[in-house]
């Protein structure tokens, strides 16, 4: 199946790229050193965006602005109800610009427009959830310490936070961080991926329009080494929340350890769906297709491994192939597209390389989605790799493409052992109508999320994050605002105090 893209849907093909600037201290500015970057739509091969890129000098300005805004206290000590009102206003403005924001994520990342629209609506919902949490954030009191003592545990904002995001869900992932940091009373320096920065700049416009004070949110653009690294090492930053690859996450933690900053990490995954013969197989096939192809597989939560009972493997894969053939791969701006473009030519080469390496290692290509480069180098069709052994790279390493690795089992114990046989532990799915079995596999899974008879659902109310090398900490859920706080213990003494050296009286 080849992909042909009609450029008439892309207004930038005729009008040229749009320019985006950084937000520092309430003003949209170019970088101190005048650096710039650009983005070619991976789905169309047309330059769609030009960005002002920053360097360490801009990080200095942004951290100083965030620090001033924090110390001034107007934001950190604002009534939570007033902060919540601003978060709600931001959510309304996000809704009002939903189509525009979704289009930017689609043309910059290659994701399908209909999916991007859902992500922007989901992001607005998360901003609303954070607004609710702002008003319920509270500490603790201890009135059980004796008649002369009242103990209080105050929750205070941690301070200035650096928030660094990847390219695969540009608008959604910043929504998993920023509104919670703001709800806690923190100020922020934000850096989107250098490939997908436009929608985060639009978020900056929205926050300014909503009335957030200058300096509370600063948005920098640029590369990891130029901007991300100084955002992590800067002594004026109190906490770093990072979503991206496990490799960069480890380097980020090492840098943050030099100044003992708090870190939160959302990293890679090699998630599996385990399918038993007693499952609703039609639903499981659909979930296997969805789990492996959603966002072209460029998803930390992708169901990139299928662990299937050997008795049903052949029929299941036949049904998978039939359904996958009906999934529309193509122009991200076509409303019917389900699988868009791969983020970059480099990443495309990495995916096809991983498919080739799996075949060299002895796995079988049940479905080969590699499309000749002469046609379009940045699309891939669904790919299924069979006869995968747990020691193969395709079973252990994140491919981040529309590629399903199939491993088979004969017993529940073997299924659990395969499920846990990776360094990652982000999520897992189990398909069975046997409740005992579902509970057993769920309890044994070393993963931050387990779906039973469903896959990749998400709610702001439910915490999200990984075991093992998939990360550190959790986003979303009722603890999400607390993550951006410090506690302060206060001991209030009442009445005469017994002297230590010479008792009074
Ligand atoms: P990446 O690690 O290359 O980049 C992520 C961000 O870090 C980008 O903004 C990048 O510019 C920045 N960065 C790069 N080098 C840096 C440095 N030295 N210091 C500070 N910042 C630096 O990841 P990516 O390729 O953009 O995204 C894909 C990865 O993200 C995948 O591994 C995926 O699994 C992971 N991811 C995880 C989750 C999750 O919630 N667990 C969600 C989405 C993506």
Same domain, residue pair 182 and 326: no
Give the burial string for 276-296 (b: 16+ CB within 10 Å, else e): beebebeebbebbbbbbbbbb
Same domain, residue pair 116 and 251: yes
Residue range(s) defining the domain that contains residue 66: 7-267+470-488
Low-confidence ranges of the chain (pLDDT < 70): 1, 372-377, 503-505
Q: Could you give the CA distance from residue 437 to residue 435 in angstroms, rounded to a whole number?
A: 5
Which residue has a Cα nearest atom 13 of ligand 1? 224
- Distance between Cα 100 and ligand 1 center (Å): 24
Burial of 489 (0-12, 13-18, 19+ CB in 10 A): exposed
CA distance to 226, 306, 381, 406, 457, per residue, from 290 (Å):
36, 12, 13, 15, 11
What is the predicted pLDDT for the residue at 4? 79
Question: Which atom of ligand 1 lies at the shortest distance from residue 176's CA?
Answer: 40
Give the CATH number of the domain where residue 350 resides: 3.40.309.10
Question: Does a structural domain hold residue 498?
Answer: no
Question: Does a structural domain hold residue 504?
Answer: no
What is the predicted pLDDT for the residue at 377? 66
Same domain, residue pair 282 and 228: no
Are 390 and 327 in contact, with CB atoms under 8 Å apart?
A: no
Same domain, residue pair 344 and 326: yes
Question: Does a structural domain hold residue 324?
Answer: yes
Number of neighbouring beta carbons within 10 Å of residue 335: 11
User: Which residues fall within 8 angstroms of residue 224, CB to CB, at 6 or more apart?
Assistant: 194, 248
**H/E stretch holding 62:** helix 56-72
Same domain, residue pair 204 and 316: no
Among 140, 135, 185, CA closest to 160? 185
Question: Does a structural domain hold residue 335?
Answer: yes
Indicate the number of domains in the chain. 2
- Distance between Cα 392 and ligand 1 center (Å): 24
What is the predicted pLDDT for the residue at 6? 83
Question: Does a structural domain hold residue 457?
Answer: no
Which residue has a Cα nearest atom 9 of ligand 1? 193
Same domain, residue pair 263 and 276: no
Are 445 and 427 in contact, with CB atoms under 8 Å apart?
A: no
Selecting among 266, 298, 398, 412, the annotated active-site residue is: 266
Question: Which atom of ligand 1 lies at the shortest distance from residue 255's CA?
Answer: 19
Question: Does a structural domain hold residue 436?
Answer: yes
What is the predicted pLDDT for the residue at 372? 67
Whether 266 is a known active-site residue: answer yes
- Distance between Cα 420 and ligand 1 center (Å): 23
CA distance to 153, 486, 488, 489, per residue, from 138 (Å):
9, 12, 12, 13
**H/E stretch holding 451:** strand 449-452
Same domain, residue pair 253 and 279: no
- Ligand 1 proximal residues by C-beta, below 6 Å: 164-169, 173, 191, 193-194, 223-225, 228-229, 232, 243-245, 248, 251-252, 266-269, 300, 398, 400, 426, 466, 471
- Distance between Cα 242 and ligand 1 center (Å): 7
Which residue has a Cα nearest atom 43 of ligand 1? 300
User: Which residues fall within 8 angstroms of residue 156, CB to CB, at 6 or more apart?
Assistant: 76, 185, 485, 486, 487, 488
Whether 186 is a known active-site residue: answer no
196-231 pLDDT, tens digit each: 999 999 999 999 999 999 999 999 999 999 999 999
Question: Does a structural domain hold residue 503?
Answer: no
Which residue has a Cα nearest atom 14 of ligand 1? 224
Cα dihedral 430, 433, 439, 444 in deg (nearest 10):
-40
Instruction: For a ligand 1 pocket test, name from 166, 169, 295 the mutation site with the most ligand atoms within 8 angstroms of its C-beta.
Output: 166
Which residue has a Cα nearest atom 6 of ligand 1? 166
**φ/ψ (deg, to 5) at 69:** -65, -35
Same domain, residue pair 312 and 221: no
Q: Could you give the CA distance from residue 384 to residue 365 in angstroms, rounded to a whole number?
A: 6
Does the pTM surpass 0.85? The reply is: yes
Same domain, residue pair 156 and 276: no
Selecting among 299, 300, 398, 412, the annotated active-site residue is: 300
Same domain, residue pair 475 and 377: no
- Distance between Cα 165 and ligand 1 center (Å): 6
Which residue has a Cα nearest atom 21 of ligand 1? 228
Same domain, residue pair 412 and 372: yes
Bridge partners of 103, per DSSP, are none
Give the CATH number of the domain where residue 88 resides: 3.40.605.10
Same domain, residue pair 304 and 321: yes
Question: Does a structural domain hold residue 497?
Answer: no
- Distance between Cα 268 and ligand 1 center (Å): 9
Which residue has a Cα nearest atom 39 of ligand 1? 266
- Distance between Cα 85 and ligand 1 center (Å): 31
């Amino acid at each position: 199946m080849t992909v042909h893209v009609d450029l008439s849907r892309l207004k930038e093909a005729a009008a040229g790229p749009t320019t985006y600037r950084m937000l520092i201290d309430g003003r949209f500015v170019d970088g101190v050193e005048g650096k710039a970057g650009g983005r070619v739509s991976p789905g169309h091969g047309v330059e769609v965006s030009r960005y002002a890129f920053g360097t360490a000098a801009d990080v200095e300005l942004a951290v100083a602005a965030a620090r001033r805004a924090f110390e001034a206290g107007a934001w950190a000590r604002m009534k939570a109800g007033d902060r919540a009102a601003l978060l709600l206003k931001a959510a309304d403005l996000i809704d009002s610009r939903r189509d525009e924001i979704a289009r930017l994520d689609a043309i910059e990342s290659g994701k399908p427009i209909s999916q991007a629209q859902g992500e922007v609506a989901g992001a607005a919902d998360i901003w609303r959830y954070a607004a609710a949490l702002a008003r319920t954030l509270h500490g603790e009191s201890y009135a059980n310490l004796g008649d002369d003592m009242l103990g209080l545990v105050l929750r205070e904002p941690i301070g200035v936070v650096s928030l660094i995001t990847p390219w695969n869900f540009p608008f959604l992932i910043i929504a998993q961080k920023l509104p919670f940091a703001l709800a806690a009373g923190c100020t922020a320096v934000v850096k989107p991926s250098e490939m997908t920065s436009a929608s985060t700049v639009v978020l900056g416009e929205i926050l300014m329009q909503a009335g957030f004070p200058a300096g509370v949110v600063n948005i920098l653009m640029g590369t990891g080494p130029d901007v991300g690294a100084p955002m992590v090492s800067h002594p004026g930053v109190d906490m770093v929340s990072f979503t991206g690859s496990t490799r960069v996450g480890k380097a980020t933690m090492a840098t943050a350890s030099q100044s003992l900053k708090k870190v939160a990490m959302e990293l890679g995954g090699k998630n599996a769906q385990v399918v038993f013969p007693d499952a609703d197989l039609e639903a499981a096939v659909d979930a296997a297709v969805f789990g492996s192809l959603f966002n072209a597989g460029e998803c930390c939560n992708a169901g990139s491994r299928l662990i299937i009972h050997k008795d049903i493997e052949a029929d299941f894969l036949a049904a998978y192939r039939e359904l996958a053939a009906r999934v529309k791969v193509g122009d991200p701006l076509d409303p019917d597209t389900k699988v868009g473009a791969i983020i970059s030519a480099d990443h495309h080469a990495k995916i096809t390389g991983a498919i080739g390496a799996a075949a060299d290692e002895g796995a079988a290509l049940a479905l080969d989605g590699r499309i000749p480069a002469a046609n379009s180098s940045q699309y891939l069709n669904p790919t299924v790799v069979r006869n995968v052994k747990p020691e193969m790279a395709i079973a252990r390493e994140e491919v981040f493409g529309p590629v399903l690795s199939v491993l088979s089992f004969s017993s529940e114990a073997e299924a659990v052992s395969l499920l846990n046989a990776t360094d990652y532990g982000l999520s897992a799915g189990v398909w069975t109508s046997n409740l005992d079995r579902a509970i057993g596999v769920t309890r044994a899974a070393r993963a931050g999320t387990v779906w039973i008879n469903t896959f990749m659902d998400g709610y702001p109310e439910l915490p999200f994050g990984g075991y093992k090398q998939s990360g550190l900490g959790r986003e979303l859920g009722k603890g999400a605002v607390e993550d951006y706080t410090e506690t302060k213990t206060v001991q209030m003494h009442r009445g005469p105090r017994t002297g230590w050296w010479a008792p009074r009286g």
